[in-house]
Structure 1
């Protein structure tokens, strides 16, 4: 990178552990691919102005990094952007309210004050409806500030918790570390949703954060099969995820067992696909029937695994 901030094709981008700095560097690098006119300067200005995440190390770091990325995008949003429909019929402001609503279920479970109205139920859809109604009288900037403050508080509280402590936001009991990876994935996906509509570059998380999220998604596969009503039947698959942050896992399709980094154990099928596409598939983005994956072994089982993958995703 030159002193004037320009990046030349093929030039190495220095590493950065701070997600906001890395966001800025990634956006500069992706400028070589030609973002929409004006988008680069808007997001760079926002990335420089955005607050640092509350936690940049430990199990909350992937979530903190995506919060920082979403905050940078929101800082660059114009008044017209805030009223654009992004996804699920929600405007950008309502989408942020949805993120705050789902985050608030985690906040309540770990003893952090919740944003918005008092929590009436430990359930995503009703909480989202309550939060969207609440922000109807607020400015977009207030909605953004409340969401960000709650996210920072979650990260700060998580820093003092054991990652294996079980919490049940939405009635689903998993370790707090896994729930924060779930929050990372949803924040990542909705940041991508918003960036696509608004027309901003979409830099990826750093590779270690992608890997942590991919590991979580691999470990979810037995549960998605169960939620979809598919029969894993004591079988197993080998999952190879390609690209930065990827890896290979041995995945027993039985919720009583846990996916682990591949140890060479026998499997019934092997699935190879892009790591980001796989994470987004688990998050409800992508069509399982046409999902691009290489399959060997029991093709029917592999299709069942991919078809069930989005079963636990929400709006």
Structure 2
């Protein structure tokens, strides 16, 4: 029996439309999934979205040329520096849950400070070493989390959330930066499978009450928005916007009675992947493609506030 889970980790990177772009990585990803044999992380259901994005990024990195590592991506970072940034933030999650952290010891639990520290360290190394340690740390994090319940408390950068939410945030950021890297080297990547997009979108919806508060919007008790996220992996969320509001996915058997029929002051309908990218700091809220019913001012306030927690 083949116990190598690598092909399973790559499955979400292989979902594409019937018409495959010439610049697509699908053939390369298939080759990588078949040929690769080094051990990969065992994953539980709740870590799978993150593991899938790690696998997709790693497949992309396996195809870049030596010159590609020096191409600028975002924030003026080279591809190697971008990968060090991902490793830095993954490492802070690993530190919070007691998983191995590679690279120099963490001196401060803060994302940008750790990024600068790790980028300085990685600039003195070959890109292949950066890639190897990033992937090794991610695999170790997945293995460690597989033995923990998803609601395990964890504080990263002074921000307490259940471990499942921290790892979904890592899945979203890895998805975003994989798209950044793909754009820099001129290839087209497929989207994650719907089963991985849905929990990521759920996290984004549940963050909306907090992003509104962080953005300075004081929302009265009883105000709410309904998010209708279309496309594979989408769904409908009722999002109460008061201080202790908790977004609920309509139709979720664990949502509680009444979630599907709760009133909302505005309904926002948009593409699920585009909404996730907006929350991750990609796109402009004022030109964001969305259909709005009801209180358009409240809806636009939410869309403008959506990226409030995003970083580089």
| Fold shared by both chains (TM-score > 0.5) | yes
Q: Secondary structure at the match of 1:18?
A: helix
2:51 — aligned with what?
Answer: 64
| Kept after mapping to 2: 8 A contact 1:46/1:76 | no
1:78 — aligned with what?
Answer: 65
Cα 1:121–1:224 shift into 2, 3 Å: same
Cα 1:17–1:303 shift into 2, 3 Å: farther
The CA distance in 2 between the partners of 1:39 and 1:241, in whole Å, is 27
The CA distance in 2 between the partners of 1:101 and 1:114, in whole Å, is 9
2:130 — aligned with what?
Answer: 143
Gaps of 5+ in 1: 1-15
C-alpha displacement of 1:49: 4.1
| Kept after mapping to 2: 8 A contact 1:20/1:52 | no
| Kept after mapping to 1: 8 A contact 2:100/2:141 | no
1:223 — aligned with what?
Answer: 210
Cα 1:187–1:60 shift into 2, 3 Å: same
Of residues 260, 267, 270, the one that matches 1:273 is: 270
The CA distance in 2 between the partners of 1:155 and 1:72, in whole Å, is 18
Please list the CA deviations of residues 82-117 of structure 1 after superposition, one character each: whole Å capped at 9, or x if unmatched: 111111100000000000000110011111121111
The CA distance in 2 between the partners of 1:165 and 1:56, in whole Å, is 16
Cα 1:52–1:267 shift into 2, 3 Å: farther
Gaps of 5+ in 2: 1-5, 251-259
Q: Secondary structure at the match of 1:257?
A: coil
Mapping 1:290-309, distance limit 5 Å: 290-309=287-306
C-alpha displacement of 1:137: 1.1
1:174 has 2:170 as partner? no
The CA distance in 1 between the partners of 2:132 and 2:92, in whole Å, is 18
222-231 or 271-280, which deviates more: 222-231
Q: Secondary structure at the match of 1:239?
A: strand
49-58 or 200-209, which deviates more: 49-58
Q: Secondary structure at the match of 2:166?
A: helix
Q: Secondary structure at the match of 1:86?
A: coil
Cα 1:41–1:104 shift into 2, 3 Å: same
Please list the CA deviations of residues 247-299 of structure 1 after superposition, one character each: whole Å capped at 9, or x if unmatched: 00100012412111231101111000000000000000010110000001111
| Kept after mapping to 2: 8 A contact 1:46/1:73 | no
2:151 — aligned with what?
Answer: 164
C-alpha displacement of 1:53: 4.4
1:261 has 2:258 as partner? no
Q: Secondary structure at the match of 2:45?
A: coil
| Kept after mapping to 2: 8 A contact 1:30/1:201 | no
Mapping 1:9-158, distance limit 5 Å: 18-23=8-13, 25-26=14-15, 29=16, 32-36=19-23, 41-50=27-36, 53-158=40-145
C-alpha displacement of 1:30: 5.0
Equivalent residue pairs, number: 296
| TM-score, normalised relative to structure 1 | 0.89
1:195 — aligned with what?
Answer: 182
The CA distance in 2 between the partners of 1:203 and 1:39, in whole Å, is 8
